[in-house]
Amino acid sequence: MFVSRFLKNEALAKNKSLFWYLIAIALGCVCGYLEFAQPIVCFISDIFVKMFKCLSLPIIAFSLIVSLSQQSSDLQLKKIGGKTLFYTVTTTMVASSVASILYLLISPSNITTSVPSVEREAMAASKYSEYVMNIIPSNIFSPFLEHNVMGALLMGVVIGIAIRYIPDSSSRTSVSNFFKNVHEIFLIVVGWIIKILPIALFGFISTAVVQLKSGVNIKGLGGYLSVVVLANIVQGLIVLPIFLYFNKIRPFATLRRMLPALSVAFFSKSSVGTLPVTMETAESNLGVSRRISRFVLPLCTAINMNGCAAFILTTVIYVMQNHGIEVNLLTILQWIFISTIAAIGNAGVPMGCFFLSLSLLASMDVPIDLLWLILPFYSIIDMIETALNVWSDCCVTKVVDKKFS
């Protein structure tokens, strides 16, 4: 009797949440078209983006520290980390391969519109090598001050492993419990934000509608955009469900249960900013153990970038083609590997893939003028690929949880 009542109340709560999500989406679409409401919705959107960014990096660092410092055995940790890395690299490479196949099938034509030239200094403004160098922080606070995701990840891994080597067991337990308690504080705050999540969705959707209203001429870009969007759709709705199915997990039930996190990822355009929501949703809706979710999800958020790999490959190949550089099968095969590696090192923040593609092209002395024609469309592309990245994170985490829980 008690169990049935509990399940009934839980189902009612989920339906109530879905109701408020739908209301937020509807109001967001309407307010995006109202001129007087635009400053308000932009303000709401900015507030929630700041909240997610404020919480995301500490949660990444503390999640890894707590998970690594409390793992029951080094062997188990290696197995979990090894499986996560294997699934991450595999799914990211498949995403890049799907994009390459679609590129060959669709064969997007060159853009005939002339665009203004860009100074070489501007092209070299964001070198990929500089981003790699910044992974190692100059001090322990710089990853959080500069919002350096990979730096925070590195700090979390190093500190978490170092705690395990503290000789005195009581000191080791005390330090581990300190980080665990601080981590719990951040998660309590996340729980508060989860309760007002429909307000965040309202702000994100409204600002997205405002961006869509401006509109630009898509002539000459249709084939390119088709490749990028279809690559994300095929990866998200065909490849990843097959991955779940072969691991005896119901794919579309899993997708439905992760919709709260995927909707926030879509409209916030930040997989790192969505991490608190992703973690909470995976644990409550998918039943993923805290031990797995708080180790695997932060790791996946930093290195599992399916959508980014597809975008990098398609964009770099398309820009090279437009500037008369020969693009053959060997070139595409090379870029499958390059885009996979580059995507793994990309920061999960808005426009991260765009600037990474710019940096890679600039490092090869390929003119990047066409990127400014792609830029007006990137807001939508960024939404789609961020949702795909988070969906892939959830799939990898669920499979790892099934194997090790």
Mean pLDDT across the stretch 255-276?
Answer: 86
Lowest mean pLDDT among 77-86, 165-174, 214-223, 244-253: 214-223
pLDDT value of residue 361: 77
Q: Is the pLDDT of residue 231 over 70?
A: yes
Q: pLDDT tens-digit profile of 322-377?
A: 888 878 888 888 889 888 877 775 655 556 677 778 767 766 667 766 776 777 67
pLDDT tens-digit map of 287-322: 998 888 888 888 888 777 899 899 999 998 998 888
Is the pTM for the entire model greater than 0.85? no
What phi and psi, each to the nearest 5 degrees, are found at residue 323?
-105, 25
Q: Tell me 37's DSSP state.
A: G
120-124, 238-242, 299-303 — which one is most confidently predicted on average? 238-242
What Å distances lie between residue 340 and 89, 125, 308, 310, 313, CA to CA? 7, 23, 9, 9, 9
Percent of the chain with pLDDT over 70: 77
**The domain defined by 2-404 carries CATH number 1.10.3860.10:** yes
- Shortest CA distance to 228 belongs to which of 304, 346, 301, 318? 318
Q: Rounded CA gap, 83 and 77, in Å? A: 10
Phi-psi region of 349 (alpha: psi -120 to 50; beta: other; left: phi over 0): beta
Q: If you search the block for the tokens 């709260």, which residue do you land on?
A: 260
Question: Average pLDDT over the chain, rounded to whole?
Answer: 78
Write down the pLDDT at residue 43: 84
Residue 247 has pLDDT above 70, yes or no: yes
CA neighbor of 317 nearest in space, from 333, 304, 306? 333
Under the banding of pLDDT at 50, 70 and 90, the label for residue 122 is very low
Q: How far apart are CA 272 and CA 189, in angstroms?
A: 16
> Mean pLDDT throughout 188-200?
78
* CA 122 to chain CA mean position, Å: 27
- pLDDT band of 17, cuts 50, 70, 90: low
Q: What is the pLDDT of residue 357?
A: 80
Best-predicted range by mean pLDDT (62-71, 88-97, 107-116, 338-347): 88-97
Coarse DSSP helix, strand, coil percentages of the chain, rounded to the nearest 5 percent = 80, 0, 20
For residue 191, pLDDT over 80 is answered with: no
List b or e across 110-140, with b for residues whose CB sees 16 or more CB atoms inside 10 angstroms.
ebeeeeeeeeeeebeeeebeebeebbebeee
pLDDT on residue 276: 85
Provide the pLDDT confidence category of residue 285 given band limits of 50, 70 and 90: very high
Cα gap 181→170, rounded to integer Å: 16
pLDDT on residue 213: 65
Instruction: Show the tokens assigned to 129.
Output: 């090598």
Q: What is the pLDDT of residue 362?
A: 65
Higher pLDDT, 187 or 98: 98
Res 223 pLDDT > 80: yes
Q: What is the pLDDT of residue 51?
A: 77
Residue 3's pLDDT is: 33
